[in-house]
Structures are given as structure tokens and as C-alpha cells.
Amino acid sequence: LVRSLRAVYGDAAFEIVPLTFKLPDEMDDWAAWVQRHPHLDNGLWMLKNNKQRGTGLRLVTTGDAFSACFETTTRPGMEGMVLYRWYLAQRYITRPLLIGGRKFGLRVWVLVPDVRPLRVYLHQNGLVLFSSHNYDESRTMEEDGSIAPGHVTNYAQNEDADVWSLARMKQHLGAGRFAHMWSKIQSSVALTFAAALPRAQEVQAQMDLPPRSCFQFFGLDFLVDDELRPWLLEVNATPSMKVQHSDPHLERLIHDQKWPVIRDMVQLLGICSERFNPTREEHRDAGFLQAELARRGGFTPIMHLFPEETPQGFRLIPWQKLDQQVRAWTKSKVYAEAVQ
């Protein structure tokens, strides 16, 4: 994620995600940044590995961070190899927006029907996932080194915590403040998937699959700070759509948010045997888009937010002729009505 964003946008990537360094490759860059920018270092860093369900995290102070980065681990079949435990260091957001004294994360869902041309749809549904404990900025770690309760909003670590819909959050924030935050989320989603296009095209070409036979469904996690700025923390290519909660009312809420997303995804994709026909041809123009929009349900297209140009000196986004046609079509009345 961070590598794709930086390859296209340079340091502007850190307007989408928190400042991040790859470990151990960028250890020297990280140390140099801390030395040059003491006024920007808030003193806390989140170390991450590839474990799921919120278990591969450690919150450390700047003073302890560099020694922690040299911790090693083992994996089955790789005994005897030096494997570092942490692969990312990310600046911790110390001033999150709190509701009722608790930190929360936003889970939103994104559908990419294809990358030839690239289309990206963000669903109007989503979940506000609260921590089980109040947020205490002064208490970040337990005695055993684990993250103190209240600092992680991952659902797997807070399965019985409160859950809101985005509609309830809009009611809490007010329509204007929510719209401000949501527009920033839409922009971040569009920039993120545009930056991923080069790699997506490479992988699809290597697989040599029939035209229009691929799609991908994602779950994106955002943290909102006290200035209503959403920070993208994770892009999950296998988002859980499980419906489970100890509170029957919240379990129903989760169901009512997730089920329409699945229904609308199947409808938008037009999943049928014809979609996987090996003789199916590539799209020749953007004429198919009007029918695709008509099937979108609760998905909102965000192709109008794709960047038109890439900053000089960084990898160009490989927009094709069809992508340019899609961009032109986003200025149509039909498209404008779809994004309202």
C-alpha cells in the first residue's frame, strides 16, 4: 500500500496514510527523519507485521522503537533464517476523534469491477467500530509490552464493543461535518486505487485471464483524527463479512450494513456464466458504463476523483485510451446524477 502510494505521489502519500517506514530497509531514513524533525515526532510509533485480527501490532515510544525493530521471529520451514518481527513503523495518531471518550475506526467497502478500464465504487454503507475501553493518551502500554486497551479499534480485538452505522455517525456529527469527512475518504480511496493500477495491470497480464473476468472486493479501514481528517490504515483484500455480536441488536445492525453490500456487488458485476466466457472481448469504448451505473445499488462511483496527472519525477499512472474515455464520461449528466 505505502510503496504504491509513494511510487506515484512521493511524500504526498503521507497525506493519505500516516508517515510510514519499511523495516528494516528504511531504518536509516526513519532515524534521519526523527533527528531532523523532532517537532513533528509525537513520541509514539506503531510497529506492524503481517498478522491479522489486530494481533500483529506494537505501540512503542521513539526511544524504544529502534531497538524493538531488531527483534527476530521464526516461521515453520524457515528455521535458521534471520526474520525480523516488524515490517512497518508508522507514526501513531495521538489525537483521534473520540465519541463518548472512546476511539473508533471506520470500515468501508470498495468494489473494483475491472482495471481495463479502471472503475472504483465506494459503498454508502459502513461500520463505525468502537474500542471496548476509553481512550487514555497517557497509558499506551501494559506491563507485558502489549498495547493498552482503548488504543486499538480492530473488531477482532473488540468483538463486544459498540458498533454504529455511518448514518448514525452522520447524525452525531451533523450533515456538514460528516460530508466534509466523507469527501476526504472518497478522495483517498480514488487516489489509492489509481496508484495501485500499475501493479494491478502487471498481475492481470501475468495471469492471462479472459477479458472482464476479474474483480476485487476490498475493506478499507480509516482512523479519524480530532480535525475530522481520515487516515487510511489498511486495505484488506479479504474483508470479513461475518455477522456476529453478543448484542442481538448490534448483530442485526451489522447484518443490515453488510448484506446490501454483497447484494449490490453481485448486481453491479452482473455475475453470470457469460461473465467468465473465455471468448468475451475487451470493452471497446465507455458505452457500457451507463448500464453498469444503473446496476450499482448503494455503490457510488468515484472515477471523477482519479488524478489526471502524476507529479513529475514519479512513476506515471498508466492510463489507457479507455480510461481517458471514462474520465470524459464522468463529466456527463448521467454520471453527475449518480454521484450526488
Q: How confident is the model at residue 66 (pLDDT cuts 50, 70, 90)?
A: confident
Q: How confident is the model at residue 20 (pLDDT cuts 50, 70, 90)?
A: very high
Least confident window among 276-280, 326-330, 335-339: 276-280
C-alpha cell at 179: 460530508
Instruction: In whole angstroms, give the CA distance from residue 153 to residue 102.
Output: 9
Asked if pLDDT for residue 64 goes beyond 90, the answer is no
Report whether the peptide linkage leading into residue 24 is cis, meaning its omega lies within 30 degrees of zero: yes
Burial of 336 (0-12, 13-18, 19+ CB in 10 A): exposed
Over range 228-255, report the average pLDDT: 95
Q: When comparing pLDDT for 211 and 224, which is higher?
A: 224
Instruction: In whole angstroms, give the CA distance from residue 301 to residue 339.
Output: 6
**pLDDT value of residue 129:** 96
Please, what is the average pLDDT of the chain? 88
Phi-psi region of 219 (alpha: psi -120 to 50; beta: other; left: phi over 0): beta
Q: When comparing pLDDT for 128 and 65, which is higher?
A: 128
Using the structure block, give the residue that is written with the C-alpha cell 506491563: 143
Q: What is the DSSP string of 105-148?
A: EEEEEEEEEEETTEEEEEEEEEEEEE-SS---TT--B-TTSPBP
Each residue's pLDDT tens digit, 132-154 = 999 998 888 777 767 888 898 87
Asked if pLDDT for residue 254 goes beyond 80, the answer is yes
Residues forming a β-bridge with 127: 107, 165
Least confident window among 107-116, 122-131, 197-206: 197-206
Asked if pLDDT for residue 275 goes beyond 90, the answer is no
Asked if pLDDT for residue 303 goes beyond 90, the answer is yes
Q: What percent of the chain has pLDDT over 70?
A: 90
C-alpha cell at 25: 530497509
Q: Indicate yes or no: pTM above 0.75.
A: yes
**pLDDT value of residue 279:** 60
Q: How confident is the model at residue 80 (pLDDT cuts 50, 70, 90)?
A: low
